[in-house]
């Protein structure tokens, strides 16, 4: 199978695309689509995170769990929604933390985070697809193995990457990251159920930029401008 993914990632992950588990993912998705099952995000956006942020450009990684499972939401970037879709509650809380941390105004009705991705923020979901209206429905089909491999590539082939791990799932996903080689920032999940228990006040966005600058890397401009 020829996966349409940016050159740096394609080279780094080439062995994964040949493995049985990945071929199984491809076969399952093909079968579900042929049986008229609606899958999000659309096929052209499944690898959007990798095509918008190539391996050589990664500065920050934000790990999500599952794509949004409603119409016109997911487009392959964790926590991000397509233009025209109101920001979901977790993203609203992310915006609130950025406003308090950096003193900048974030949009209220715009949730497309492509501007971050183009600057080197890999917005990585642990599962890259989901059935419509069925959260975590593809969590067990092999994507977890693939995204573990992605994190391993970042951990071993890059230096001075900032990993933002929000919630227990992300913390477990990033448990093997070398904290002597990278900056690992941990907090509660930004969902309304947990944000006030340790996400608000984490200051991850200013801490990330301070670390990047300290290591001679251009910081991220976190403000999102409506396009």
198, 189 contact by CB (below 8 A) = no
> Which residue has tokens 């200051």?
203
Q: Which of 20, 66, 101, 148 is catalytic?
A: 66
Token pair for 194: 């947990």
Residues 6+ positions from 223 with CB-CB distance below 8 Å: 98, 102, 104, 105, 106
Torsion angles phi and psi, residue 113, rounded to 5:
-95, 20
Query: 66 catalytic, yes or no?
Result: yes
Query: CA of 120: how far to CAs of 77, 124, 178, 193, 199, in Å?
Result: 12, 12, 20, 29, 22
Annotated catalytic residues are: 66
């Amino acid at each position: 199978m020829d996966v349409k993914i940016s050159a740096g990632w394609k080279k780094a992950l080439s062995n994964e695309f040949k493995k049985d588990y990945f071929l199984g993912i491809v076969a399952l998705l093909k079968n579900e689509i042929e049986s008229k099952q609606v899958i999000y995000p659309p096929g052209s956006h499944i690898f959007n995170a990798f095509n918008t942020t190539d391996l050589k450009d990664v500065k920050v990684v934000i790990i999500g769990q599952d794509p949004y499972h409603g119409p016109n939401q997911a487009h392959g970037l964790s926590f991000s929604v397509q233009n025209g879709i109101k920001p979901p509650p977790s993203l609203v809380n992310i915006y609130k933390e950025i406003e308090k941390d950096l003193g900048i105004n974030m949009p209220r009705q715009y949730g497309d985070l492509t501007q971050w991705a183009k600057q080197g923020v890999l917005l990585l979901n642990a599962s890259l697809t989901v059935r419509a209206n069925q959260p975590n429905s593809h969590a067990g089909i092999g994507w977890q193995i693939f995204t573990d491999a992605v994190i391993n590539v970042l951990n071993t082939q890059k230096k001075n990457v900032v990993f933002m791990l929000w919630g227990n799932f992300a913390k477990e996903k990033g448990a093997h990251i070398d904290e002597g080689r990278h900056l690992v920032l941990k907090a509660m999940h930004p969902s309304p159920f947990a944000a006030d228990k340790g996400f608000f006040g984490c200051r991850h966005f200013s801490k990330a930029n301070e670390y990047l600058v300290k290591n001679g890397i251009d910081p991220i401009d976190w403000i999102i401008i409506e396009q």
